[in-house]
């Protein structure tokens, strides 16, 4: 059913495009009712506007808190035009129907994102009249068109121009569902803020407001659908906040999962670092004063697994680094018997224009790779209140994010042998890499370079054997990290056979004494971190 727009109420906080929209409505003979700043803006542009107080018979009051909360507004929105009783009530009380509501809400999320925002200021930016009008209009979308954002203006105008001022039922229904999503998201942001202010970690009810960014080609597998959603208020440097540069093929669900894993690891390091990830696990990681050297070391860690991987860097990609990445196979892969190299994604804080050109043209695969630019990595912007959400069938598990890193002051040294300064540095890297690797996890590092990773095994002994095999002869002199404690000395005995010189593990096993005794027997320096890094 088409409904002709005769009267519209416009009250917007974000005034982008509203003047042009109102002008087109006015040209089609639509009566425009407006409030406060919106009315002034439209009048200043020569648009005829009826003030809200002329409709309600009441002035705006209480610093603007009360202006649209009135029966003549909500009756005009909620009245069913095909019900005799509704029409009679509207006529009796002088309520004229409103056919279109154009409202966007007070900028609550933008306000609280400011570091100097007070609780009082946040409260004043909670919109009441706006959501009320949107919900009324959306509920009665059989007769009312509800417009909530500037990118909807053209859709409405186009329909009106085609249909002699009328809007179709299909469009009204679509706009109504979007309006309810907006008010739900708005309320979720307010609840999250107030829960945070009250120190409530796990409130009675949780609504997570996320906004659809794009549909993906498919989900984890081609028979699954998928989409990318973003938390609109997050100010953290992340994959979600990054910009996908032009070129490359469409990014996929798995690409985004792997890229997030790679970038969250590389964010752990303040010094130049490079990470190579495959199937959510690091297969290469290295730290160096020179980012090009760090990348080479990371790639060399496992050139076979690096094929089709994600590369994450915490420094700008300049011409030299771009050339180093694109020549990875010719420099290192052939010598190690690898079958070639290409990357699915390269993510970094910044890309020089010339570096992008090199990546796109130097190798045939360069035209396919997705490049994500994140801007400077600012660890002070990490959102510790954001939930780590895991889905189970019929429910969700929520936990706080694991933001614990390497804590030097929390370390204890239970063995006779103590780690050297260099070994401590390698243990730090191994521990951080282990934090971002699927459990059970063993990571081997030497000279700030990962040499072996054992990930996701059902027992820790097997994870260790995989890591030792991956490192081969290079395991001699390596530092080793385990994401959880050793319940038995078998991992230490195997580490000694492989030539491991230092181990970092949480400690806390009932058999710590036996494990420490084994380390002392083999002359291995052991460090207890006091924290566990399970990652399922």
pLDDT of residue 332: 60
Q: Are 467 and 452 in contact (CB under 8 A)?
A: yes
pLDDT of residue 512: 96
Name which of 34-38, 135-139, 395-399, 446-450 the model is least confident about.
34-38
pLDDT of residue 361: 93
Residue-level length of the chain: 536
- Whether the CA torsion 233, 237, 243, 249 is positive or negative: it is negative
pLDDT of residue 329: 63
Percent of the chain with pLDDT over 70: 98
Above 70 in pLDDT, residue 383? yes
Q: What is the CA radius of gyration of the chain?
A: 30
pLDDT of residue 234: 73
Q: What angle do CA 503, 508, 514 make, to 5 degrees?
A: 65
Name which of 111-120, 134-143, 179-188, 488-497 the model is least confident about.
111-120
Torsion of CA 135, 141, 142, 143, to 10 degrees: 100
- Identify which has the larger pLDDT, 67 or 285: 285
Quick one: average pLDDT of 462-482? 97
The DSSP result for 397-425, as a single string, is EEEE-------GGG-B--SSS---HHHHH
In this predicted model, what pLDDT tens digit does every residue of 69-108 receive, in sequence order? 788 888 889 898 888 899 888 888 888 999 999 999 988 8
pLDDT confidence tier of residue 63, bands split at 50, 70 and 90: confident
In this predicted model, what pLDDT tens digit does every residue of 235-294 receive, in sequence order? 789 999 999 999 889 999 999 999 999 999 999 999 999 999 999 999 999 999 999 999
pLDDT of residue 337: 58
pLDDT confidence tier of residue 335, bands split at 50, 70 and 90: low
pLDDT of residue 208: 84
> Which of these, 215, 311, 221, 219, lies nearest to 258 by C-alpha position?
311
Quick one: average pLDDT of 493-520? 97
The answer to whether 139 is a known catalytic residue is yes
pLDDT confidence tier of residue 336, bands split at 50, 70 and 90: low
Give the span between the Cα atoms of 475 and 449, in whole angstroms. 11
> Which of these, 245, 310, 260, lies nearest to 284 by C-alpha position?
310
Q: What is the DSSP letter of 185?
A: H
* Mean pLDDT, the chain, integer: 92
The DSSP result for 438-488, as a single string, is PSS-EEEEETTEEEEEE-S-SSHHHHHHHHHHHHGGGGTT-EEEESS--SS
Provide the residue ranges of all domains of the chain, joining segments of one domain with +: 3-197, 236-379, 408-528
pLDDT of residue 460: 95
Give the span between the Cα atoms of 187 and 180, in whole angstroms. 11
- Whether the CA torsion 269, 307, 295, 375 is positive or negative: it is negative
pLDDT of residue 115: 79
- Whether the CA torsion 164, 165, 169, 171 is positive or negative: it is positive
How many H-runs (helices) and E-runs (strands) does the chain carry? 19, 22
The DSSP result for 212-265, as a single string, is EEEE-S-SSSTTS--EEEE-TT--S-STTT-EE-SSSPPP-HHHHHHHHHHHHH
Q: What share of the chain is helix, strand, coil (3-state, %, to 5)?
A: 40, 20, 40
Quick one: average pLDDT of 59-78? 79
pLDDT confidence tier of residue 135, bands split at 50, 70 and 90: very high
Above 90 in pLDDT, residue 58? no
pLDDT of residue 232: 74
Above 70 in pLDDT, residue 315? yes
pLDDT of residue 384: 81
pLDDT of residue 42: 93
pTM for this predicted structure:
0.88
Above 90 in pLDDT, residue 60? no
Buried b (16+ CB within 10 A) or exposed e, 470-491: bbeebbebbbbbbbbbbeebeb
Quick one: average pLDDT of 504-532? 97
Catalytic residue (choose from 139, 142, 316, 511): 139
In this predicted model, what pLDDT tens digit does every residue of 27-49 receive, in sequence order? 999 999 998 889 999 999 999 99
pLDDT of residue 377: 94
Quick one: average pLDDT of 193-199? 90
Above 90 in pLDDT, residue 418? yes
Give the span between the Cα atoms of 515 and 532, in whole angstroms. 17
Give the span between the Cα atoms of 188 and 534, in whole angstroms. 30
Q: Are 180 and 146 in contact (CB under 8 A)?
A: no
pLDDT of residue 248: 86
Catalytic residue (choose from 87, 279, 511, 522): 279
The answer to whether the 3-197 and 236-379 domains have the same CATH topology is no
- Identify which has the larger pLDDT, 60 or 175: 175
CATH number of 3-197: 3.40.50.1380
The answer to whether 279 is a known catalytic residue is yes
Overall fold of domain 236-379:
Cytidine Deaminase; domain 2 (3.40.140)
Place of tokens 């491991």: 500
Q: Are 411 and 432 in contact (CB under 8 A)?
A: no
pLDDT of residue 501: 98
Measuring CA to CA, how many Å separate 168 from each of 5, 172, 319?
A: 11, 6, 54
Overall fold of domain 408-528:
Cytidine Deaminase; domain 2 (3.40.140)
Percent of the chain with pLDDT over 90: 75
pLDDT of residue 168: 94
pLDDT confidence tier of residue 330, bands split at 50, 70 and 90: low
pLDDT of residue 331: 60
Above 90 in pLDDT, residue 228? yes
């Amino acid at each position: 059913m088409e409904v002709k727009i005769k009267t519209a109420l416009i009250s917007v906080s974000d005034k982008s495009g509203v003047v042009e929209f109102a002008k087109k409505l006015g040209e089609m003979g639509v009566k425009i009712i407006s409030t406060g700043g919106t009315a002034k803006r439209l009048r200043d542009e020569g648009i005829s506007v009826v003030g809200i107080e002329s409709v309600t018979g009441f002035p705006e009051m209480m610093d603007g808190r009360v202006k649209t909360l009135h029966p003549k507004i909500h009756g005009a929105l909620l009245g069913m035009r095909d019900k005799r009783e509704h029409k009679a009530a509207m006529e009796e009380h002088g309520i004229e129907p409103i056919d279109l509501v154009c409202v966007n809400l007070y900028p609550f999320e933008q306000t609280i994102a400011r570091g100097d925002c007070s609780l009082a200021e946040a409260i004043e930016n909670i919109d009441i009249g706006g959501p009320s009008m949107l919900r009324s209009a959306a509920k009665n979308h059989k007769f009312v068109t509800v417009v909530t954002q500037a990118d909807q203006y053209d859709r409405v105008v186009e329909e009106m121009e085609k249909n002699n001022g009328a809007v179709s039922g299909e469009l009204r229904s679509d706009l109504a569902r979007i309006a309810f999503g907006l008010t739900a998201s708005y309320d979720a942001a307010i609840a999250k803020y107030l829960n945070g202010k009250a120190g409530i970690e796990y409130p009675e009810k949780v609504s997570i407001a996320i906004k659809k960014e794009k549909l993906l080609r498919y989900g984890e597998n081609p028979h699954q659908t998928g989409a990318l959603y973003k938390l609109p208020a997050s100010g953290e440097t992340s994959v979600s906040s990054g910009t996908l540069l032009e070129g490359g093929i469409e990014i996929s669900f798995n690409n985004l999962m792997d890229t997030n894993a790679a970038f969250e690891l590389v964010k752990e390091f303040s010094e130049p670092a490079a990470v190579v990830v495959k199937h959510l696990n690091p297969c290469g990681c290295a730290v160096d004063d020179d980012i090009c050297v760090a990348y080479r070391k990371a790639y060399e860690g496992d050139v076979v697994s690096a094929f089709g991987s994600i590369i994450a860097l915490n420094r700008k990609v300049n011409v030299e680094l771009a050339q180093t990445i694109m020549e990875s196979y010719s420099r290192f892969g052939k010598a190690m018997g690898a079958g070639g190299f290409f990357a699915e994604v390269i993510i970094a804080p910044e890309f020089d224009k010339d570096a992008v050109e090199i990546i796109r043209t130097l190798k045939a695969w360069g035209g396919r790779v997705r490049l994500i630019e994140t801007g400077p990595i600012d660890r002070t912007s990490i959102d510790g209140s954001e939930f780590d959400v895991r889905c189970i069938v019929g429910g969700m598990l929520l936990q706080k994010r694991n933001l614990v890193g390497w804590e030097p002051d929390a370390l204890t040294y239970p063995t006779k042998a103590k780690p050297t300064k260099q070994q401590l540095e390698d243990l730090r890297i191994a521990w951080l890499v282990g934090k971002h690797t699927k459990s059970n996890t063993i990571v081997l590092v030497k000279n700030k370079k990962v040499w072996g990773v054992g990930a996701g095994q059902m027992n820790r002994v097997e994870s260790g054997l995989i890591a030792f095999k991956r490192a081969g002869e290079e395991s001699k002199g390596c530092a080793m990290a385990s994401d959880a404690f050793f319940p038995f000395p078998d991992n230490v005995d195997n580490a000694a056979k492989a030539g491991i010189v230092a181990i970092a593990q949480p400690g806390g096993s009932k058999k710590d004494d036996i494990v420490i005794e084994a380390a002392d027997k083999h002359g291995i320096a052991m460090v207890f971190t006091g924290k566990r890094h399970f990652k399922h």
